[in-house]
């Protein structure tokens, strides 16, 4: 397995970050294609009830996937810091303990997901027409959850070592499988939401197997043995110190999304389907900021481990700049032709009209998260994920959910003002992040952070 070749630790910061982030962006795009293709095909061959079911089911799956991705980032940061320190034995232990931790989580979480199927769908205030379909989709996807965990563990290992390209191949193969099976099962065999779920699980399984086979074939550039996969308390705690606040943050943020979806679901099937479609598109819209954020976190972790704090600081601001260029462009497109964007996923005129309202104001958040994501990545790379957790929770539960509820009460069902909840929450996060960065500047003034 190729190491970083020190490209994250040397050379021009902006170029190194961009080269490392582009594969992240492609991988994120392909991952988003998973759910988007499900929704696209279901929207083309079935009705709004199935669209609502797939949307709600995939939102519920993201609740658990967010937990996995948070823990994975903890492993990525630890591996990155060990690489920066040139600590080969420490890197081996970090890799082995991340794998062991994910195995334990897979054995514990999968049964919970299977047993909570009916409860979760009920809590979502799912429109009655979509209840049975949502339960079917969620049940099938829950069976494939261990594959999601396995893929994220493997990706976390590669990315922590500075290899953002290899995971792209795994997800690319899986995306092709998912697209083909969606058209066969949903379009050809008329299996609806259940067919989309089967396609997703099959694709996830193939992605995981490809990752395992590649890792076994290529090996590592450092010695690793069976004892490295035995859980070590200090290693697991170190992973969780970074990963658990991020995991809890993702889980609670997704719970907030589910709460918002439940509020919107009370407005009826059209609103439920419209917001579900809009959220799918916004998943694509946030890809650039998310990709640069992931790249910044790894680059910061490695440079902090190597004692290059100035380079770590510069990486964050390059990430903000790159993300901002993309965010402004996406926001402008959403203002100019929102109907066309929503129309990609639905043929229902009412759903398109409602979704266009929601996305026009929601897309303002693409500009704001350019700052929030990359600042969070800087904190995470420094092992300070708690601040990310705290401001995200405050923004979500003190701003986003209340604003959504209030707008739902006073706007007579229009989704236009409800889309303002997300950017309002991000404004609060930006303020907190800037204040904390200024505090870090004063604290680290004796260690030259390039200011």
Average pLDDT over residues 230-242: 80
> What confidence category does residue 4 fall into, taking pLDDT thresholds of 50, 70 and 90?
very low
Q: What is the pLDDT of residues 179-202, one digit of tens each?
A: 899 899 988 888 888 898 899 889
Structure tokens belonging to residue 106: 């897979």
pLDDT value of residue 449: 44
Q: What is the pLDDT of residues 53-94, one digit of tens each?
A: 887 888 788 778 877 887 887 788 788 778 877 888 888 888
pLDDT value of residue 335: 92
Average pLDDT over residues 394-403: 86
Mean residue pLDDT across the chain: 82
Q: Which of 310-319, 325-334, 393-402 has the lowest mean pLDDT?
A: 393-402
pTM attached to this predicted model: 0.69
pLDDT value of residue 34: 66
pLDDT value of residue 444: 66
pLDDT value of residue 254: 67
> What confidence category does residue 415 fall into, taking pLDDT thresholds of 50, 70 and 90?
confident
Counting residues of the chain whose pLDDT is more than 90, the rounded percentage is: 13
> What confidence category does residue 347 fall into, taking pLDDT thresholds of 50, 70 and 90?
confident
Q: Which of 321-325, 420-424, 447-451 has the lowest mean pLDDT?
A: 447-451
DSSP for 217-280 reads HH--SS---GGGGS--HHHHHHHHHHHHHHHHHHHHHHHHHHHHHHHHHTT-HHHHHHHHHHHH
Structure tokens belonging to residue 189: 């065999």
Name the residue among 337, 196, 357, 336 with its Cα closest to residue 274: 357
Crossing angle of helices 88-115 and 145-160, rounded to 10°: 160
Give yes or no for a contact between 138 and 120, defined as CB atoms under 8 angstroms apart.
Answer: yes
Could you state, in order of their start, the residue ranges of all structural domains in the chain? 13-445
Average pLDDT over residues 139-155: 86
Phi/psi of residue 322, nearest 5 degrees? -60, -45
pLDDT at 320 over 90: yes
Helix, strand, coil share (%) of the chain residues, nearest 5: 85, 0, 15
- Interior CA angle at 110 toward 75 and 264, to 5°? 95
> What confidence category does residue 293 fall into, taking pLDDT thresholds of 50, 70 and 90?
confident
pLDDT value of residue 325: 95
Q: What is the pLDDT of residues 364-385, one digit of tens each?
A: 999 999 999 899 889 888 878 7
């Amino acid at each position: 397995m190729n190491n970083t070749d020190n490209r994250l630790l040397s050379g021009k910061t902006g170029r190194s970050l961009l080269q490392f982030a582009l594969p992240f962006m492609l991988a994120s795009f392909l991952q988003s294609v998973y759910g988007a293709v499900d929704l696209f095909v279901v929207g083309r061959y079935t009705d709004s009830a199935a669209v609502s079911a797939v949307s709600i089911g995939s939102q519920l799956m993201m609740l658990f996937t967010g937990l996995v991705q948070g823990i994975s980032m903890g492993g990525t940061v630890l591996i990155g810091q060990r690489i920066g320190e040139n600590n080969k034995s420490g890197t081996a232990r970090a890799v082995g303990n991340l794998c062991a931790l994910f195995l334990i989580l897979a054995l514990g979480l999968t049964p919970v997901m299977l047993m909570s199927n009916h409860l979760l769908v009920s809590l979502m205030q799912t429109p009655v027409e979509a209840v049975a379909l949502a339960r079917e989709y969620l049940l099938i996807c829950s069976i494939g959850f261990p594959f999601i965990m396995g893929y994220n563990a493997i990706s976390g290992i590669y990315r922590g070592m500075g290899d953002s390209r290899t995971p792209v191949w795994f997800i690319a193969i899986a995306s092709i499988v998912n697209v083909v099976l969606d058209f066969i099962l949903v379009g050809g065999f008329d299996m609806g939401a259940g067919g989309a779920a089967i396609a997703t699980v099959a694709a996830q399984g193939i992605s995981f197997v490809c990752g395992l086979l590649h890792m076994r074939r290529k090996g590592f550039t450092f010695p690793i043995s069976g004892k490295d996969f035995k859980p070590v308390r200090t290693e697991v705690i170190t992973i969780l110190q970074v990963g658990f606040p991020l995991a809890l943050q993702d889980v609670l943020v997704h719970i907030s999304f589910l709460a918002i979806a439940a509020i919107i679901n009370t407005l009826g099937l059209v609103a439920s389907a419209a917001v579900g479609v809009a959220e799918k598109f916004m998943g694509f819209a946030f890809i650039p900021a998310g990709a640069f954020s992931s790249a910044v976190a790894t680059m910061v972790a490695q440079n902090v481990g190597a004692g290059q704090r100035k380079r770590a600081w510069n990486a964050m601001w390059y990430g903000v700049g790159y993300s901002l260029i993309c965010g402004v462009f996406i926001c402008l497109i959403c203002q100019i032709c929102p109907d066309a964007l929503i129309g990609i996923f639905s043929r229902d005129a009412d759903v398109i009209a409602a979704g266009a309202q929601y996305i026009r104001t929601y897309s303002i958040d693409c500009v704001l998260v350019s700052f929030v994501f990359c600042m969070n990545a800087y904190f995470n790379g420094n092992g300070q994920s708690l601040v990310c957790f705290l401001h995200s929770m405050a923004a979500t539960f003190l701003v986003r959910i209340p604003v959504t509820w209030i707008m739902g009460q006073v706007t007579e069902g229009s989704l236009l003002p409800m889309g303002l909840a997300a950017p309002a929450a991000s404004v609060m996060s930006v303020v907190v992040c800037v204040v904390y960065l200024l505090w870090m500047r004063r604290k680290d003034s004796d260690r030259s952070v390039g200011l």
